[in-house]
Amino acid sequence: MIALLTPLMAMLGPLAVLLLMAVLFAETGLLVGFFLPGDSLLFAAGVLVATGAMHLPLLVVAAAAFVAAAVGDQVGYLIGRRLGPRVFNRPRSRFFSPAHAGRAQAFFGRYGPRAVILARFVPVVRTFTPVVAGVGEMPRARFTAYNLVGAALWAVGLLVAGYFLGGIPLIAGHIELFAIGMVVLSLVPATVAVVHRRYVGRVAVAV
């Protein structure tokens, strides 16, 4: 997915910011957006701004990314508040997996309100955590505060990282490869957690 979106962003020029906003909103605000590579696309957008391919000031792109990410989480929260547990009782389908929702519930249960911020950096979990917060009736003011902080750290942080690293010729010349590398790195924590859980489960069974 990122290998397709990055060249498309480069072709769109200034309009690429609209594609970026759409992806960020869909990934964080719509349950079907869990497969979208928001973090790696943010990094790629930063590189494109640095190399002049996007033809927009960094401040404008950062503001647009922040707004899309923040609004997306607010929509996810409202879905959870309005639909409640029915969201997680839906049968498995092509665009919805109860397992993904379960991961977000476990993540929120472990970290509490901080999960709204931390989940931004965990693929799939960041899509469902706002919904979990809504289902759990986390106070809207508190959720909004954590949401804004998380949106700033994630959206603006990764964009700025890509912008400054985009000045390195090696990265600017191989942006697709580095974007894919970002996807791989983002999956490491989830993979470690799964391996650890299975290992602990086997040890418990053996004992």
3-state secondary structure 94-105: CCECHHHHHHHH
> pTM (2 decimals)?
0.77
- Segment 5-28 shows an average pLDDT of 89
* Res. 203 pLDDT band, cuts 50 70 90: very low
Contact 34, 128 (CB under 8 A): yes
Tell me the C-alpha distance between 97 and 108, whole Å: 17
Domain with 48 in it:
2-206
How far is Cα 99 from Cα 104, in angstroms, rounded to an integer? Answer: 9
CA distances from 150 to 54, 70, 81, 114 (A): 25, 8, 20, 9
For tokens 């911020």, the residue is 117
* pLDDT, mean of residues 17-45: 87
Task: Domain count for the chain, please give it.
Answer: 1
**2-6, 94-98, 120-124, 196-200, range with greatest mean pLDDT:** 120-124
Looking up tokens 């759990």 gives: 136
Lowest mean pLDDT among 5-9, 53-57, 158-162, 179-183: 179-183
